[in-house]
Amino acid sequence: MIYRYANSFRLAALVCLAGLASSLTGQARAAEDDAVDMIVELISGSDNDMRALALQQIREELPGEDATRRFVELLPDLAPDVQIKLIDALGERGDAAARPAILEMLNSEAEAIRAMAARAISGLASSADIPLLAKMAATGLDLEKEAARYSLRHLRGDEMNVAMTEALRNADTKPRIELIAAIVDRNVKESLPVILENADDSDLAVRLAVLSALRVMGDEKHAEMLVERLKSAEDASERRHTAMALLAICGRERIKCEHAVIAGFDGADTATRILMMRVLPLTGGPKSLNQIVARLKDDDQGVRAEAVRVLADWRDPNAIPHLKTLAQDTENLRNHVLALRGIVRLASPGKNRPANLADLREAMKLATRKEEKVLVLGVLGTIPTLESLTLVASGLDQTEIAEDAGLAAVLIAENISEGSQSQVRAVTQKVLQTVRNKVTQDRAKKLLDVPLPSQNTNNHLESTKTSILQSEQHVH
């Protein structure tokens, strides 16, 4: 207990000395020396709690290269676990005077010490350290790799971006891959031309790293190159990375990439045509849509099937006429179902788009199975208009969908605010007479409990209004 109190007083004295030392005038110089001496003693001591507080002082107080050098001198004589903590504190301190000693720690026999030194160097490094960090990230043990990658991504200053780009030109294969990945994570777009110098490298891993960079930093200027790479790539992973990069760029640049993608269909094999069809919905535009429609007559069955799927998922209602043509082919059930679903989706109300009841009505006519008709009814039930109610009511006469039509009608009737209430009640009464579902019946009954204004009530209102007008005229 006495020992703990003694250390507490020493800590209080240390904090006071550190505060006084920060002014660095007069007696403060001596106070600084005393504070450094005390920190050195606590770091070398056996009290872990006091050591932790002393390390915090190294991180945040007592500035100056002289103090840094005193702390650095401790490193060789400390136990490995304490070395790791001091290296960490020196890294956060950010004084370049510690850099030579930290670099020396990269040669330690202990992996944990080497890893901490690699991490700490991020706040102290010069551009000359980049090749070393890249090599460690590429060839070190697991902890070293993780630490070196951290440092490459957290090196401070734009000059480090320039240095990393220059190091890329002369790096060996594995360090080059690490540098590309770090540059991408740092989002140094101006380095992309140098990265692209490796696009045709003989090493597949390097080419994949370049494609990953394009995926993040590429724009429409790179779309044509990616299309050609997609057509020529023989390795499956390279094709996949190319497709992902092309998808990402087209997702960002949209219609700017349209020409490059469409032009790429000439001479493309089946697999490539399928991949590029999956890109066209991102570019959008009428030319992209026309290319998909053209693929409905492709020589390859797989391409035709993919064209149907892409068309059914198209975002633009301009696809609806083509989908209607497909939906009329009831012999090809797959195409019929996909096309009908596409029509219903595009005709449904959207965020910035009202429902297209004409297309929904036609979808109901094109539907040949109960599942398809129920799909249309589900959308109509969300549209509270007299027109949608009339369309839904026609389903009450079809036994297979009567229950679903009744529910949709009730949903509309509960929310409708336009049209003749007598018409709404007529449909609701028909629902009550048709459906067997108790929940739907109860909701219909609740709607019918709200009385319509009667003719007598209307006559009484008119009579009252006339009397009031006559009274006003008499007063005047």
Mean pLDDT of the chain: 89
**CB neighbour list of residue 470: distance below 8 Å, 6 or more residues apart:** none
Least confident of 7-11, 147-151, 215-219, 249-253: 7-11
The pLDDT of residue 27 is 52
The pLDDT of residue 420 is 74
Mean pLDDT for 190-197 is 97
Element (H, E) at 192: helix 192-196
The pLDDT of residue 30 is 62
Nearest alpha carbon to residue 88 among 131, 66, 67, 119: 119
Q: Which of the four pLDDT bands, split at 50, 70 and 90, describes residue 61?
A: confident
Residue 221 has pLDDT above 60, yes or no: yes
**CB neighbour list of residue 245: distance below 8 Å, 6 or more residues apart:** 211, 212, 214, 215, 218, 222, 226
Nearest alpha carbon to residue 217 among 170, 241, 249, 255: 249
Mean pLDDT for 188-193 is 96
Cα–Cα distances in angstroms (integers) from residue 148 to residues 93, 105, 130, 142, in the given order: 18, 13, 10, 10
Distance CA 268, CA 259 (A): 15
Distance CA 337, CA 21 (A): 80
Distance, CA of 376 to chain centre: 32
**Contact, 295 vs 322, CB < 8 A?**
no
Mean pLDDT for 232-256 is 96
Token pair 């997702």: residue? 251
Mean pLDDT for 178-197 is 97
Mean pLDDT for 88-107 is 94
